[in-house]
Chains A and B, each alone.
Chain A
Amino acid sequence: DAMVIQNPRYQVTQFGKPVTLSCSQTLNHNVMYWYQQKSSQAPKLLFHYYDKDFNNEADTPDNFQSRRPNTSFCFLDIRSPGLGDAAMYLCATQGDPQGVRTGAFFGQGTRLTVV
């Protein structure tokens, strides 16, 4: 059974039209990450949550926002998508028992197309 679920798998949005990607987990992990991955590149960390504490990477554009209303759900909001934001967006979770991080579990990703 899938433990990290991303919806939708494929999303087409118009240039400049706000879009929200969602991620849910059944692992009860403290940490949730959002990564952007472009073709033939490594995943690039956008931001992450440790419980409700939000950590933004320094080079993440303001156009990208995130919400984590509870442990299980996390959302990525792209306020005004540009053509350069077309990519695979990956959500991942990580446990932190006694301060020792486990391996990360990834969802299947959402492939975003901007037209």
Chain B
Amino acid sequence: TQLLEQSPQFLSIQEGENLTVYCNSSSVFSSLQWYRQEPGEGPVLLVTVVTGGEVKKLKRLTFQFGDARKDSSLHITAAQPGDTGLYLCAGGNHGGSQGNLIFGKGTKLSVKP
């Protein structure tokens, strides 16, 4: 069974601070995805990374896929209250009908004004 470990589980910071969330596994994934979920809503895709060592930027968010495609990180610069939410990483496997998408436990981020 493939597992994704996310850390930290909870993070409470002040507006303007930087933070990093980690997603680790002992398994290799074809792709890793990051989602943000607000209470009562479905997760919303932020980014997909597929190449080992890949770095993607989305405004103040920087995503990195580990060289061995087993881990990923999400770094937020100058966090804002609007960044508050549950951040989920998900590992994907390709391979036709056998591929699936499993989630880490999530990091609950609270950014205080």
Q: Which of A6, A48, A90, A102 contacts B43 (CB 8 A)?
A: A90
Which residue in chain A gives the minimum CB-CB distance to B90?
A104
Is there contact, CB below 8 Å, between A109 and B50? no
Which residue in chain B gives the minimum CB-CB distance to A39?
B39
Q: What total count of A-B pairs have CB within 8 Å?
A: 78
Binds A, one of B58-66, B67-75, B93-101: B93-101
* Given the contacts A42-B88, A43-B88, A55-B97, A103 and B103 also touching, CB distance less than 8 Å: no
Which residue in chain B gives the minimum CB-CB distance to A35?
B103
Among the interface residues B44, B98, B99, which one has the most CB atoms of the partner chain A within 10 A? Answer: B99
Chain A: how many interface residues by the 8 Å CB criterion? 33
Q: In whole Å, how far is A104's beta carbon from the nearest beta carbon of chain B? A: 6
Q: Which of A43, A55, A92, A103 contacts B98 (CB 8 A)?
A: A55
Chain B: how many interface residues by the 8 Å CB criterion? 30
Let me know if A45 is at the binding interface, CB within 8 A: yes
Chain A residues with Cβ under 8 A from B98's Cβ? 50, 55
Is there contact, CB below 8 Å, between B96 and A92? no
Q: Which of B45, B100, B104 contacts A45 (CB 8 A)?
A: B100
Binding site for B on A (CB under 8 A): 4, 6, 31, 33, 35, 40-45, 48, 50-51, 53, 55, 88, 90, 92, 94, 96, 99-109, 111
